[in-house]
Amino acid sequence: MQAYQVTGPGAAVLRHDVPVPVPGTGEVGLRIEGCGLNFADLLMIEGRYQDTPATPFVPGLEVCGTITALGPGVDGPAIGTRVAVFGGQGGLAEHGCFPADRVVPVPTGMSADIAAGFLVAWSTSHLALFHRARLRAGERVVVLGAAGGVGLTAVELAANAGAEVVAVARGAAKLDVARDHGARHLIDADAMDLRDRLRALGGADVVYDAVGGAAARAAFRALNPGGRHIVIGFASGDVPEFPANHLMVKNVDLIGVYWGGYMRFDPRPVRDSIATLFDMYDRDVIRPHVSHVLPLSEVEQALDLIRSRRSTGKVVVTP
C-alpha cells in the first residue's frame, strides 16, 4: 500500500511498498477514506510533538474509514462499518490499524471529507469552551487563529451558545470565513493595538488561544476580572509566559487543554463531547468547513497548506 512514512526528524517520504498492517489485540483494521490534518502533524514530522512515536512511523492523527478486520479480543463494530477515529498516528496511508475503543460510527450522511477532520477540532473546542472554561451565553469570547482548524470550530460553537465572538485572524479572506460562522467582531491579526481594540469592545471574558506569541499576551492583558484564558496550542511557534500577579489581582483562570491527553486519563468527557457534536451535526446546528481536499500523492502540498497558514478550517488527505 501507499503510506507517508517519517524516517527521522524532518525526513518523510511517500512510499508505495509498505505492507498492509494486520490489527493486533484490541485493534481494528481500516480502509482509510480520509485523514484530517492538524498542526500537530507538522510537529510530529519534525520530532517536536509531545507524543511523537519512534521512527519509522506514519503520521496522521485522525481518520475516517471502513472497518475491514477485527483484531483478537475485538467483537465490534462490525466489518463494513464506517467510523472515525483519533489514533494518534497512522492516518496518511491507504490502510491502518487503530484502537477499537476509540472508533466511533460516523453519522449517516456525513461524508468522509467531513468525518476525517471532525473529531479533534470540534471536540477540542467543545471541551475547552464548555467543560473547561464554563462558557455562558452573553460572554465575550476572543478567538485567536479564528479561521484555522480549531479556531473556526470555536467561533461557531461559541456563537451558537449565545456568546459575542471576536475573531482574530490574518487577512480579510480569513476574517470573512470567521464572520460566516458567527463572529460578530473582526480584527486583523497584524493589528498592532490588539489589546486596546479588545478593551474598546469591553474586554474579553474568555480567550481561546491556539496561537501563542504576541497575540496571546495582548489578549491576556485584555481579560476582564473573572475571565478565562484557554491555552490550546502555539501555532506562532512562540510559547508565551503569563504574569502570575495578573492572575491573582484580576481573579482570572489560565486553562490548559490538551485534547489527546483526555484519551489517556479520562476519556469520558471526550466521548460525551463527540456524541453531542454528532447530534448537533445531524440537526444542522453546526457547519464543518473543509477548505482543501487533496490526494495522498499530494501530501506534501497538503501539509504545506497548514505550515503556510493558507487554509481555512480543515485540510483533508484522501488515499
Question: What is the secondary structure of 117-177 as a DSSP string?
Answer: TTHHHHHHHHIIIIIIS---TT-EEEEETTTSTTHHHHHHHHHHTT-EEEEEESSHHHHHH
Q: Which fold has domain 122-260?
A: Rossmann fold (3.40.50)
For residue 16, the model assigns a pLDDT of: 96
64: left (phi over 0), alpha (psi -120 to 50) or beta: beta
Phi-psi region of 284 (alpha: psi -120 to 50; beta: other; left: phi over 0): left
pTM: 0.94
Residue 84: all three cell numbers together = 472515525
In this structure, are strands 11-15 and 27-36 parallel, antiparallel, or unpaired? unpaired
Up-side HSE of residue 167: CA atoms within 13 Å toward CB? 31
Q: Where are the domains of the chain?
A: 3-118+288-318, 122-260
Q: Which grid cell sits at 237?
A: 511557534
**Cβ–Cβ under 8 Å, residues 64 and 87:** no
The length of the chain, given as a count of residues? 319
Q: In 3-state terms, what secondary structure has residue 255?
A: strand
Beta bridge partners of 66: 31, 82
Report d(CA 177, CA 182) in Å as an integer: 9
Rounded Cα distance, 182 and 266, in Å: 31
The pLDDT of residue 84 is 98
- Chain segment 202-255, per-residue pLDDT in tens: 999 999 999 999 999 999 999 999 999 999 999 999 999 999 999 999 999 999
Residue 12: predicted pLDDT: 96
> Which residues are bridge partners to 267 per DSSP?
none
What's the confidence (pLDDT) of residue 85?
97
Evaluate whether 164 touches 141 at the Cβ level (below 8 Å): yes
Give the CATH H-level superfamily of domain 3-118+288-318: Medium-chain alcohol dehydrogenases, catalytic domain (3.90.180.10)
Which run of H or of E encompasses 284? Answer: none
Buried b (16+ CB within 10 A) or exposed e, 167-189: bbbbeeebbebbbebbbbbbbeb
> Residue 112, Cβ neighbours under 10 Å: how many?
21
| Tens-place pLDDT, residues 142-176 | 999 999 999 999 999 999 999 999 999 999 999 99
pLDDT band at 263, cuts 50/70/90? confident
Q: Which residues pair with 32 in a beta bridge?
A: 65
